[in-house]
Amino acid sequence: MKWTKKQRQPKLQERIKEDPFITDEALASLFQVSVQTIRLDRLEMNIPEVRERIKDVAQKQYDPVRALPEEEIIGEIIDLELDKYAISILDIKQEHVFSRNNIARGHHLFAQANSLAVAVINDELALTANAEISFKRQVSAGERVIAKAKVVDIRRNRTDVTVESFVEQSLVFEGRFSMFREDYAEGGE
């Protein structure tokens, strides 16, 4: 059963409030209307598009990346608290997929996660020592991957970072990265 615009708009607003990362495509399929209808609803209710919402949710002023120049990060950092957590988004384009089946190549999802694990470290030097990773679901061209890194353990010169990457609400990649860093006691601030 479809709702009228009047019924739909408050529910839409509520849904976006619950999950600011939800895309117009996902909302369209949820409410069984076209993407265009969702866009018009958003315009009428003055709700920005998902990329802007993600940035709004993120801290307005996130910490500056220390371990590498920000332009060397694969994906776009949208939130970061050094030695705590970081979030980045990567839009999967034609250049990221296998030509044969349109599925994103593992090393791009790995690169997004790994560079986020480097970026979250509060040190001038951070290198990956080892990692256990898992590809949970195929990702296709056109999808947006949101990676969330969390620092889970800081020892003297080793820091463990977990990264979970999502498309919409579904987990597509997870990894645990063990990172070398300069001595935390000296390097941390």
Which parts of this chain interact with a second copy (CB under 8 A)?
68-69, 72, 74, 98-101, 103, 105-107, 110-111, 114-115, 125, 127-135, 138
Between residues 32 and 138, which has the closer beta carbon with respect to a second copy?
Answer: 138
Question: ∠ CA(181), CA(184), CA(189), 5° rounding?
Answer: 115
Between residues 50 and 117, which has the closer beta carbon with respect to a second copy?
Answer: 117
Least Å distance, CB 55 to a second copy, is 25
Least Å distance, CB 6 to a second copy, is 45
Instruction: Measure the CA–CA gap between 142 and 145, rounded to whole angstroms.
Output: 10
Whether 58 contacts 77, CB under 8 Å: no
Residue 155 burial class via C-beta count within 10 angstroms: exposed 0-12, middle 13-18, buried 19 and up: exposed
Backbone CA torsion sign across 132, 68, 145, 161: positive
Least Å distance, CB 77 to a second copy, is 16
Between residues 45 and 129, which has the closer beta carbon with respect to a second copy?
Answer: 129
Distance of CA 187 to the CA centre of its chain: 27
Instruction: Measure the CA–CA gap between 27 and 29, rounded to whole angstroms.
Output: 5
The residues facing 91 across adjacent strands are: 144
Least Å distance, CB 107 to a second copy, is 4
Between residues 45 and 152, which has the closer beta carbon with respect to a second copy?
Answer: 152
Least Å distance, CB 124 to a second copy, is 8
Between residues 66 and 144, which has the closer beta carbon with respect to a second copy?
Answer: 66
Instruction: Measure the CA–CA gap between 15 and 72, rounded to whole angstroms.
Output: 35
Between residues 8 and 66, which has the closer beta carbon with respect to a second copy?
Answer: 66
Least Å distance, CB 133 to a second copy, is 5
Instruction: Measure the CA–CA gap between 170 and 60, rounded to whole angstroms.
Output: 26
